[in-house]
Structure 1
Amino acid sequence: MKKCISFLTVCLLMAKLTTAQIIPSFEFGVKGGMNLSRFSHTATFATENRAGYLGGIYARAGGLGFNFQPELYITSKSVTVNSGSTQNKATFTSIDLPLLLGTKIGAFGVGGRFYTGPLVSFAINKDQNVGDALGNALHLNYKDQNLAWTFGAGLDLKKVSIDFRYEYGLTKQPYNNGNDETRINLFNLTLGYRLFSL
């Protein structure tokens, strides 16, 4: 009898794990967190990690073991650049649009996620305000914008999600009054909250 109960329990658990990824699902939520940014190494300048922030929304649609997760958030990326005795602090504010593809394992509201995908960054500066940057993001206007590639992992606990990711800059950012340019690489740690799901 104990063997039958154990076998039935294992079968039900496996069924739950399997159907958790096969049945199509959708969720929408908010997220916020912090980042550590750094210029890629240069021979002339030394850089230090500096903290920034990010906040926005995400959606996740999944089925057959995979999910697609687009996000839209505002982010501030800061870096300190040292050149001899001179120290300059640079801050970049942007609207970021990651388009992530991943997979999820787990059941009963608890699971782990692994994902990767491109990120398009729409700069906010003196020539482009938040509304303009958001308009460019919604119309997928890629001209003069920055690209990165994202790798990450996440943990879901019921309605709460924790994500840790690395962004590798694909395009170069100007600095030193536009005389030099380099890539910005980021580590992000975010906390998300699911507002609703289907």
Structure 2
Amino acid sequence: MKKILLGLAALFLCIQASQAQLLPSLKLGVKGALNFSSLRADGKWLNSDTKTGFQAGIWGRVGAAGFHVQPELYYTQKKAGYESDEGNGEATFKSLDLPILLGTKIGIGPVGFRIQAGPVFSFAQDGKVTFGSALDKESYKKSSTGLIGGIGADISKFTVDLRYEHGLNKLSTEGGDRGSQRISMWSIGVGYAFL
């Protein structure tokens, strides 16, 4: 009798979990992250060291049937140490980033693990790139596109994410090796869902 009752309880929980995944859900929250970025170029013009920057912004998640769409909007500061023919220094890129992630969540109740990927659109703030103390406004594009993907976990209203972002288009308007610059970045972030 005990085995039958335990079996019925397990079946009931599985049905409840599957029905919960079929219902649409909505979450809104805030997030912050540390990022570790580097700047790459073809040829020997640029060798980049990884430097630490940050992200801060908002996110939303709409999902049903185990899948979700998660748009985000955050301010990002990406830094990269560089070594070039002209000398060494640090480049700083400030942008407003808009990733649109598609993903799935595995878990029951308040604990779940996520896999997400999608495009990210970056819009430079004031069109400025800082190299040391000098500003370079003319040599860099005002927007760029990349791909972002990663894993995450939800624990009640808190979220944790580990992501990798790879720039798809060239950042510089110049030709040759200088024009082939792309940013790649790892980030680890935490968030809180207030809805």
Deviations for 1:63-102, whole angstroms, at most 9, x for unmatched residues? 0221010000000000011136921200000000001111
In structure 1, distance between residues paired with 2:153 and 2:101: 15
- Tell me whether 1:78 sits opposite 2:79 in the alignment: yes
In structure 1, distance between residues paired with 2:145 and 2:38: 16
Letter in 2 for 1:34: L
Contact 1:95 1:123 in 2 (8 A): yes
**What does residue 69 of structure 2 align with?**
68
Contact 2:127 2:142 in 1 (8 A): no
Deviations for 1:109-156, whole angstroms, at most 9, x for unmatched residues? 0001111111100101357xxxxxxxxxxxxxxx94210011111100
Structure 1 stretches (4+) deviating beyond 6 angstroms? none
Letter in 2 for 1:110: V
In structure 2, distance between residues paired with 1:174 and 1:168: 16
Q: TM-score, normalised by structure 2?
A: 0.85
- Fraction of identical pairs, as percent: 38
- Tell me whether 1:121 sits opposite 2:119 in the alignment: no
Structure 1 residues not aligned, in runs of 5+: 128-142
**What does residue 182 of structure 2 align with?**
183
Structure 1, 41-50 or 183-192: larger mean CA deviation: 41-50
**What does residue 134 of structure 2 align with?**
none
In structure 1, distance between residues paired with 2:90 and 2:142: 23
- Tell me whether 1:52 sits opposite 2:87 in the alignment: no
- Tell me whether 1:151 sits opposite 2:149 in the alignment: yes
Structure 2 residues not aligned, in runs of 5+: 129-140
Q: TM-score, normalised by structure 1?
A: 0.84
In structure 1, distance between residues paired with 2:120 and 2:127: 22
Contact 1:21 1:104 in 2 (8 A): no
Partner of 1:20: helix, strand, or coil?
helix
Partner of 2:3: helix, strand, or coil?
helix
In structure 1, distance between residues paired with 2:103 and 2:2: 38
**What does residue 107 of structure 2 align with?**
106
Letter in 1 for 2:184: N
Q: Of 160, 163, 169, which aligns to 1:162?
A: 160
Q: Aligned pairs, how many? A: 180
Q: 1:153 and 1:59, CA in 2 relative to 1: closer, same or farther beyond 3 A?
A: same
Per-residue deviation, 1:27 = 0.7
Contact 1:75 1:94 in 2 (8 A): yes
Letter in 2 for 1:46: N
Alignment of 1:1-16 (within 5 A): 1-16=1-16
In structure 1, distance between residues paired with 2:84 and 2:172: 16
Partner of 1:168: helix, strand, or coil?
strand
